[in-house]
Amino acid sequence: MNLVRFMNNRVPSNKRYQPTDYEHAANCATHALWVIPSLLGSSVLHFLSEDQWERVSAWLYGAGLTSLFLISTLFHMYNHVLYLSRSVEHCFHMCDRMVIYFFIAASYAPWLNLRELGPWTCHMRFSPLFHSLSLPFSLSLLVSRYKLMELICYTVMGVFPALVILSMPDREGLCELLVGGACYCLGMVFFKSDGLVPFAHAIWHLFVAMGAGVHYYAIYRYLYTPAANQMKTSR
């Protein structure tokens, strides 16, 4: 089967790639699929919470996770079935990009809020959240047309809090965090491959979903299950 007919020609790095109808549909489906599971997963964390910090972290993380998939689905659906004007599309596009920064910060929130951090890094507890709120507004407007710049920003935003987490005396869950991070990094190859690989953006979506799934599992298992809570109190 000739898969090339499923994609359009590549465009210069400062132009937006136009997906084919097939690619549009795949872009919608690959994130829409995860909206309900994200809501359910967030609710599970909420109901497992035993104190205020756990509840706040569950809400923050759940908001980041669900809004990532929801905004992305709305953005791709708007482009696919309801395109009205360039300015509305631009607005959706900005939201789609900004929510990624919020999602990255939200993914770290449970670890930074619920784990004991090293003495040199505990004052950095809130820095990912601060960056997620301050950076997107300035950066999204500047770099959304340049995918390489965008990727560099996501990587800096994703790696910086990881350095804080490495200072945790308790290393449980670190392996899963690295595996999830590796999924995002592998996915970035496809984020840059529109017009080279058919369905590249949908494949990027799947890697994001995979990374988020692994990170959710780690948060659930090491921070929220009764066994994890028992470990915390016995220390």
Number of residues in contact with Zn ion, rule: CB under 5 A?
Answer: 1
Binding mask 65-104 for Zn ion (x = CB under 5 A): -------x--------------------------------
**Residue closer to Zn ion (CB basis): 15 or 235:** 15
Question: Closest distance between Zn ion and the C-beta of residue 30, in Å?
Answer: 8
Stretch that binds Zn ion, among 42-50, 64-72, 108-116, 187-195 (CB under 5 A): 64-72
**Residue closer to Zn ion (CB basis): 28 or 218:** 28
**Residue closer to Zn ion (CB basis): 72 or 193:** 72
Question: How is the chain classified by DSSP, letter by letter?
Answer: --GGGGS-----TTS-----HHHHHHHHHHHHTTHHHHHHHHHHHHHH--SHHHHHHHHHHHHHHHHHHHHHHHHHHHHHH----HHHHHHHHHHHHHHHHHHHHHHHHHHHHHSPPPTTTGGGTTHHHHHHHHHHHHHHHHHTT-HHHHHHHHHHHHHHHHHHHTT-S--TTHHHHHHHHHHHHHHHHHHT-TTTSTTHHHHHHHHHHHHHHHHHHHHIIIIISHHHHHHHHH-
Question: Closest distance between Zn ion and the C-beta of residue 76, in Å?
Answer: 6
Question: Closest distance between Zn ion and the C-beta of residue 113, in Å?
Answer: 28
Question: Closest distance between Zn ion and the C-beta of residue 72, in Å?
Answer: 5
Question: Closest distance between Zn ion and the C-beta of residue 208, in Å?
Answer: 8
**Residue closer to Zn ion (CB basis): 26 or 105:** 26
Provide the binding-site residues for Zn ion, judged by CB under 5 A.
Answer: 72
